[in-house]
Each structure stands twice: as C-alpha cells, then as structure tokens.
Amino acid sequence: MAVQNLTLKVTDKQEIAHDTYLVRIANVNDEPLDFQPGQFATILVAPNTRRSYSIASVPGEAFIDLIADTVAGGPGSQFFENIKVEDEVQFLFPLGNFTYQSNSKPAYFFATGTGLVPFLSMIKFALEQEQSNREIHLFIGFRHEEGVFYESVLEELASKYENFNYTLTVSQPSDAWQGNKGRITEYYQDMIKENADIDCYICGSRNMIEDVQTKLLAKNIAKEQIHFEQFY
C-alpha cells in the first residue's frame, strides 16, 4: 500500500475518558480508506511538527478513528485538545509494520493506556471481518480508572464472540474501583504455558514492552512471534 499525503475532515470528536479523545476523520467523497490493522498515521500537529497515532477503526471504511491521550502535554496533545469538528487534518498514511498476522494460533495482546488503540483495529478485524475462530486474549492496563476507555466495546465483543476474552486492570485505582487491580503482568503469567505456539502483540511504553517481552521469552515463546510497537 503506497503511503499517501491526505487532508481529511474531522466529523466527530468525543472525550471518551479523562484527557482521552476519540477523533473521527473522514473522506468527504465517501471513498474507503485502505490500510492494515495495526498501522498508524503521522499527523501534522503544528507547523513542521508531526506525531504518530495508531488507527482504532477497521480498514475499508471512509473514515479512520484516532484515540489520543493528552497526558504528555506537548504539541500532539495540544492538537487533540484543540481540534474541532469540520477542521482539516493533514497526515501521512498508512505507515508501520506492526500489523495483524492472520493464522489459527492463539493470539495474545498486551497493552497499557492508548496502547490499546492498534489492538482495537486488529481484534475487530479478526473477529468481525475475517471471522477468525482463533483464540484471542487481550490484557489491558490503565493507571487510573478515569482513564479507562472502550470497556463497553470490549464487553460487547466478548459477549458476542466466544473465542475472545479480555482482562482489564487498573494499577492505581481509587477505593471505589471494583475491578481488577495491579499490573497486567500479574494476570497472564499463569495462562501462558512454557513453549506455547502463540502470537503475541505488545503496545505501550518502552518499560512495559520490555517487562512483558522478558516474561514471554522466559517462557520460551519464540522471539519472532513477539511483535511490539513502542509509543514513547
């Protein structure tokens, strides 16, 4: 797929969690946008300044959904805080090799925060478009419960597709939080067997990727079956 320099319009913007925005940018002529699940767009967020954002939606729609947290507070964060419906967005797309590999092996996805974004595209693609029967397990961690987004989407997918389940955990919850607590590493360790023939995808910060990768390698999971994308 050739990389394109596109200018599309914002058709929707919602704050889906604390400091986390969903922005839909669409082709006004309704032409479908093609990319591979897991790829990203590099957006012109300020003059001569670009930042990368993974695509949350599935290929073949006339729009792409982006989800950005604005915790870092730099030019990318300001862009997502300030952008409005009807604004134009200039970006390079589609980019990246962190893409979903279709096969029948069980697939494990590990993410923290907006590291979930490329997995939304990959998992929806596998379940809804490809109608894959492979086992799909997602482990997603957030720091605070105010940052949790798309839990209802994950819940809906889990109730519709028997081969998909997810574990959501919050590492620094308030006393009111009723769900899982702690880091994702505490939840998948027992589930993954030594030498398992599985595909693993990891997305988030460098520390989190290294942590998960080290634990998978210690279980003799083949290095070439561990795919990762580092956000920062």
Binding site for ligand FAD (CB under 6 A): 40, 51-54, 67-69, 71-77, 96, 113-114, 117, 229, 231-232
User: CA angle 165-100-116, nearest 5°?
Assistant: 55
SS3 content of the chain, % helix, strand, coil (to 5): 25, 35, 40
Exposure string of 147-159, with b = 16+ CB inside 10 Å and e = fewer, is bbbbeeebeebbe
Strand-strand pairing, 164-170 and 136-142: parallel
d(C-alpha 116, C-alpha 8), whole Å: 24
One-letter identity of residue 177? W
CA 143, 144, 150, 154 torsion-angle sign: positive
d(C-alpha 104, C-alpha 163), whole Å: 11
d(C-alpha 68, C-alpha 202), whole Å: 18
* Bridge partners, residue 204, by sequence: 230
One-letter identity of residue 227? H
CB-based contacts of 73, cutoff 8 Å, min separation 6:
none
